[in-house]
């Protein structure tokens, strides 16, 4: 039997030992964290530097860097679980022993000074629990505490994020994403004269999180206009369970339209694509010309990419406010009131381009429900 008066001290010294162990775990975590942060920031810097060499084909390097970034970002599950369990157990015993030491020396009755005496224990419990939360947050990077210092790998494909937080040219990143347009022709079932044309935006590297406006037109009329926000969601691989930060060769359906023109488009058939991101004030403009393939029209490989300084915009609370227009972009002004960043893609075609419809029929704005696919 141990003497009761000494036993309290024994308990407190054991608690002290446990606290020391806990803090050494904290040091261990902070050292590994520091290493990881360094690696991540190095990779991030490499990524940013890479995007300045915009003329070369750097898509593969960018893709590999994002994968590498993810490798350092994700902490292996097993050691992480072990450390978390250790921290939890340790904190539990510390709190238990502290409370036990108090209870052993408690003498009834309950009175006001007792609350004063207990308050250091309360502070201790609070501080320990807070420390535990801090350690837990540090060990996995996916939390608001560190998210701003080292963004999750998903954010590296987000154009808006890159343009907003990092001072880097949107155009050079977009150049590596290599946006191109693809129009696939299918004969309409009921009408042998008309074609159903599906419009897809192809990306070599899946950059997302931007607002777009697309117009397909020639010198007589505008065949198609599409607008909306591009957001890709790639679920983790169902078999290997690996997260997918970025994809290649993706197609984003933008809508479809019907027309009676055949494959032989006039030379003036062209497309204008505007890209609005959250961190900029002038959109990036792509001018596409087309070339013929089998059953499809693909945009030529060297689109003219410029920053359209005539358009000024800002994005506030998912709403796109255009402060000044460019009259050269067909239908832009007309569709302005519908511009919202809600993650969906809309399209619109003036029905008058089909011979059968009367010219006065109202424009239809439709939502494009087809998901992003890889082809």
Partner 1 sequence: MYYDTAVFVQNIRQALSPLVFPSPAQADPYMDLAKVKVIEEFDPQEACRQAPSSDPLVQALGLVLETMEKGPFNMTRLGMNELFKKYLFLITEENEEECTQRFFDCFYQLFLSSLLESYPFTGLFWEYLCLTLATVSEYLIEKRLITAGQIFLKTVFVMGRCATQNCLPTCTIQHLMHNMEIWAREEGYLEFADCAKNHRFNLECL
Closest C-alpha among 350, 347, 349 to residue 367: 347
- Smallest gap from Cβ 56 to partner 1, in A, equals 4
- Give whichever of 296 and 325 is closer to partner 1, judged by the CB atom: 296
Distance CA(108)–CA(327), nearest Å, equals 85
- Give whichever of 267 and 301 is closer to partner 1, judged by the CB atom: 301
- Give whichever of 63 and 339 is closer to partner 1, judged by the CB atom: 63
- For partner 1, the binding residues (CB under 8 A) are 53, 56-60, 63-64, 178, 180, 204, 248-249, 291, 293-296, 298, 301
- Smallest gap from Cβ 298 to partner 1, in A, equals 6
- Smallest gap from Cβ 51 to partner 1, in A, equals 13
Phi/psi region, residue 21 (left: phi>0; alpha: psi -120 to 50; beta: rest), is alpha
- Give whichever of 67 and 326 is closer to partner 1, judged by the CB atom: 67
CA 237, chain centre distance (Å): 18
- Smallest gap from Cβ 291 to partner 1, in A, equals 8
Distance CA(251)–CA(198), nearest Å, equals 11
- Give whichever of 178 and 370 is closer to partner 1, judged by the CB atom: 178
3-state secondary structure the chain: CCCHHHHHHHHHHHHHHHHHHHHHHHHHHHHHHHHHHHHHHHHHHHHHHHCCCCCCCCHHHHHHHHHHHHHHHCCCHHHHHHHHHHHHHHHHHHHHHHHHHHHHCCCCCCCHHHHHHHHHHHHHHHHHHHHHHHHHHHHCCCCHHHHCCCCCHHHHHEHHHHHHHCCCCHHHHHHHHCCEEEEEEEECCCCCCCEEEEEEEEEEECCECEEEEEEEECCCCEEEEEEEEECCCCCCCCCCCCCCCCCEEEEEEEEEEEECCCCCCCCCCEEEEEEECCCCCCCEEEEEEEEECCCEEEECCCCEEEECCCCEEEEECCEEEEEECCCCCCCHHHHHHHCECCCCEEEEECHHHCCCCCCCCCCEEEEECCCCEEC
- Smallest gap from Cβ 59 to partner 1, in A, equals 6
CB 264 within 8 A of CB 272: no
- Smallest gap from Cβ 121 to partner 1, in A, equals 59
- Smallest gap from Cβ 232 to partner 1, in A, equals 18
- Smallest gap from Cβ 82 to partner 1, in A, equals 35
- Give whichever of 120 and 295 is closer to partner 1, judged by the CB atom: 295
CB 205 within 8 A of CB 63: yes
- Smallest gap from Cβ 375 to partner 1, in A, equals 8
- Give whichever of 149 and 291 is closer to partner 1, judged by the CB atom: 291
- Give whichever of 190 and 375 is closer to partner 1, judged by the CB atom: 375
- Smallest gap from Cβ 167 to partner 1, in A, equals 24
- Give whichever of 303 and 330 is closer to partner 1, judged by the CB atom: 303
- Give whichever of 63 and 212 is closer to partner 1, judged by the CB atom: 63
């Amino acid at each position: 039997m141990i003497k009761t008066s000494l036993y309290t001290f024994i308990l407190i010294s054991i608690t002290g030992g446990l606290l020391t162990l806990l803090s050494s775990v904290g040091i261990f975590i902070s050292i590994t964290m520091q290493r990881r942060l360094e690696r991540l920031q190095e990779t991030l810097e490499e990524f940013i530097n890479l995007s300045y060499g915009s003329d070369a084909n750097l898509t593969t390097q960018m893709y590999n860097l994002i994968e590498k970034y993810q490798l350092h970002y994700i902490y292996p599950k097993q050691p992480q679980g072990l450390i978390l369990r250790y921290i939890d157990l340790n904190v539990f015993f510390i709190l238990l022993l502290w409370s036990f030491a108090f209870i052993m020396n408690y003498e009834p009755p309950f009175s006001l000074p007792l609350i004063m005496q207990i308050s250091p224990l309360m502070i201790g419990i609070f501080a320990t629990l807070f420390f535990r939360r801090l350690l837990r947050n540090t060990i996995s990077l996916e939390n608001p505490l560190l998210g701003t210092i080292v963004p999750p790998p998903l954010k590296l494909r987000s154009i808006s994020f890159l343009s907003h937080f990092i001072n880097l040219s949107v155009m050079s990143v977009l150049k590596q994403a290599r946006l191109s347009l693809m129009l696939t022709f299918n004969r309409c079932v009921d009408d042998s004269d008309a074609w159903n044309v599906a419009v897809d935006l192809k990306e070599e590297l899946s950059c997302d999180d931007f607002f777009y406006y697309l117009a397909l037109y020639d010198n007589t009329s505008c065949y198609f206009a599409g607008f909306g926000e591009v957001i890709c969601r790639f679920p983790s691989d169902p078999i290997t369970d690996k997260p997918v930060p970025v994809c290649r060769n993706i197609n984003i359906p933008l809508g479809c339209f019907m027309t009676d023109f055949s494959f032989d488009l006039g030379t003036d058939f062209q497309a204008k694509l505007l890209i609005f991101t959250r961190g900029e004030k002038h959109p990036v403009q792509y001018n596409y010309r087309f070339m013929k393939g089998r059953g499809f029209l693909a945009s030529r490989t060297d689109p003219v990419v410029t920053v359209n300084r005539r358009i000024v915009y800002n994005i506030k609370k998912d709403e796109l406010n255009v402060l000044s227009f460019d009259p050269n972009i067909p239908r832009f002004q007309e569709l302005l009131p519908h511009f919202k960043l809600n993650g969906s893609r809309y399209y619109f075609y003036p029905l008058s381009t089909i011979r059968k419809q009367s010219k006065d029929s109202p424009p239809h704005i439709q939502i494009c429900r087809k998901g992003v696919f890889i082809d």
